[in-house]
């Protein structure tokens, strides 16, 4: 389990940008069994190839009601597929959608529904009651509810008349539906369909503009972004003297490094699928540059996964007693990143050309 340093509330975690006001005629399977009510079509998902839990929760919710929004598509539409950032202390929160250069609101804004966020402290009796009632109503009309703290899951049912939630979560994948006993930082209520949902082509172009903006942003708060984040990461890995400050919490640094690396692979795999899916809808000459960006990200993924990520960026649990994360290992990872960074810059250059041609 990852440890994240996010001193924030649910609103930025979920990034919900819209209000709701009606009933959704969701094509979901609402099942009643004893005092349990649950949406049978809402399935658990694992972290494998779906490492971003914020996007994963929204994708699972959409698929449960028959909407064609895959994980890769929402990663792309939100621009999360093109994002890379690095906390100045390598906190594992670095890839989280809702910190630094946040893409949370972009994810909810890509949906064809009104979305609003709700949050309340656990000791706020009235606030808790309102949230429980709203969640119960959402389940009754067939729409699951994304919820989150450090990571996001999906409320798919309830029992005890709404006082207990039945959930699925990537960190409890093997459990299937389970009773969530922790109170979330917040929830996202997916409401009625939009009268005029945003078009995919317009969202695609906007996601590319965001990709360029993220790459060219230096830092937001404690998070280096884009080009600067890549350069900082490589610089620390290759500076043995400067690494001393990171070595003071070696296990934490290794954990952050591994998760950031693994999440980068996950994001760029999504970028490949997203660009491939949309390339046929783009006219020439822009299409050629979309395909060039796609090829660059494919090369980047191949470089990053030429060996198992856990070998290139070893997590702390890979160390045996008495072993260290050696300078040689860090230099090897830096060399891999330098090759991948060439592909990254090439992809962004082509995306800029796409935007010029559109």
Q: Which residue has the tokens 């001193």?
A: 7
Region of poorest pLDDT, from 25-29, 92-96, 302-306: 25-29
Query: CA of 75: how far to CAs of 33, 65, 241, 243, 271, in Å?
Result: 35, 19, 37, 33, 8
Both structure tokens of 331: 């230099």
pLDDT confidence of residue 174? 83
b/e code 167-182 from CB counts within 10 Å (16+ = b): bbbbeeeeeebeebee
Return the DSSP state at 54: H
b/e code 252-274 from CB counts within 10 Å (16+ = b): bbbbbbbbbbbbbbbbbbbbbbb
Q: What is the pTM of this model?
A: 0.91
Long-range contacts of 245-252 (CB under 8 A, 24+ apart): 246/89, 246/90, 250/316, 250/324, 250/325, 251/316, 252/3, 252/90
Strands 186-193 and 219-220: unpaired
Q: Tens of pLDDT along 170-185?
A: 999 888 899 999 999 9
Q: Tens of pLDDT along 318-354?
A: 988 888 899 999 999 999 999 999 999 999 999 999 9
Q: Taking residues 110-137, what's their average pLDDT?
A: 97
In whole angstroms, what separates CA 304 from the centre of its chain?
19
Both structure tokens of 96: 């989280």
Q: Which domains does the chain have, with CATH numbers?
A: 10-193 (3.90.70.10), 200-357 (no CATH)
Helix/strand/coil for 35:
coil
Q: Which residue has the tokens 């060399």?
A: 335
Would you say residue 6 has pLDDT above 50?
no
Helix/strand/coil for 204:
helix
pLDDT confidence of residue 19? 38
Mean pLDDT across the chain: 92
Q: Tens of pLDDT along 17-46?
A: 333 334 444 446 899 999 999 999 999 999
Cα-atom radius of gyration of the chain, to the nearest Å? 21
Share of residues in the chain with pLDDT > 90 (%): 85
Residue 349 region by backbone torsions, left for phi larger than 0, else alpha for psi between -120 and 50, else beta: alpha
Give CA–CA dist 72/346, Å, rounded: 21
Q: Tens of pLDDT along 244-296?
A: 889 889 999 999 999 999 999 999 999 999 999 999 999 999 999 999 999 99
């Amino acid at each position: 389990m990852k440890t994240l340093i996010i001193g924030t509330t649910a609103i930025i975690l979920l990034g919900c940008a819209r209000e709701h006001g009606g009933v959704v005629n969701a094509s979901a399977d609402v099942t009643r069994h004893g005092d349990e009510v649950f949406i049978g079509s809402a399935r658990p998902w694992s972290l494998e190839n779906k490492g971003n839990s914020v996007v994963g929760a929204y994708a699972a919710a959409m698929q449960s009601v028959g909407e064609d929004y895959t994980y890769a598509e929402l990663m792309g539409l939100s621009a999360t597929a093109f994002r890379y950032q690095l906390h100045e202390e390598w906190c594992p929160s670095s890839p989280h959608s809702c910190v630094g250069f946040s893409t949370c609101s972009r994810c909810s804004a890509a949906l064809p529904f009104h979305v609003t966020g709700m949050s309340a402290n656990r000791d706020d009796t009235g606030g808790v009651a309102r949230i429980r009632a709203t969640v119960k109503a959402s389940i009754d009309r067939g729409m699951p509810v994304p919820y989150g703290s450090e990571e996001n899951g999906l409320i798919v049912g309830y029992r005890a008349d709404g006082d207990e939630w039945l959930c699925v979560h990537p960190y409890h994948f093997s459990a299937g539906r389970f009773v969530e006993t922790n109170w979330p930082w917040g929830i996202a209520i997916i409401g009625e369909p939009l009268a005029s949902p945003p078009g995919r082509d317009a969202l695609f172009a906007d996601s590319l503009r965001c990709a360029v903006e993220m790459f060219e942003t230096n830092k937001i708060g404690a998070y280096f972004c884009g080009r600067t984040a890549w350069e900082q990461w490589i610089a620390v890995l290759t500076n043995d003297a400067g690494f001393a400050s990171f070595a003071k919490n070696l296990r934490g640094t290794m954990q952050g490094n591994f998760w950031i690396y693994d999440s980068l692979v996950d994001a760029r795999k999504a970028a490949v699928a997203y660009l491939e899916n949309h390339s046929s809808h783009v006219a020439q000459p822009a299409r050629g540059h979309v395909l060039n960006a796609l090829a660059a990200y494919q090369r980047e993924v191949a470089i990053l996964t030429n060996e198992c990520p856990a070998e290139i960026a070893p997590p702390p649990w890979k160390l045996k007693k008495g072993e260290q994360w050696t300078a040689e290992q860090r230099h090897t990872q830096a060399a891999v990143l330098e090759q991948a960074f060439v592909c990254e810059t090439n992809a962004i250059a082509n995306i800029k050309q796409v935007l010029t041609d559109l």
